[in-house]
Amino acid sequence: MKKPKYPLEQVALIKQKRLEEAEKLLKERKELLTREEENLKTSIAKRDKVLEHKKEKIRKHLEELEGGTTSDKIQLAERYIKKVVDEDLKREEKKVKDQQDLVNRAKKAVEEARENRLKKNQEVEKMRLHRDEWEKEQALIMMQQENLEMDELGSSMFSRKRKEP
Asked if the model's pLDDT at residue 122 lies above 90, the reply is yes
Determine what percent of the chain is predicted with pLDDT higher than 90. Answer: 55
Asked if the model's pLDDT at residue 73 lies above 90, the reply is no
Asked if the model's pLDDT at residue 69 lies above 70, the reply is no
Per residue in 81-109, is it b (16+ CB within 10 Å) or e — as a string? beeebeebeeebeebbeebeebbeebeeb
Asked if the model's pLDDT at residue 92 lies above 70, the reply is yes
Closest to 121 (Cα-Cα) out of 31, 48, 26: 26
Give the model confidence (pLDDT) of 14-26 as tens digits.
999 999 999 999 9
Alpha-carbon gap, residue 55 to 88, rounded angstroms: 13
pTM of the shown model: 0.71
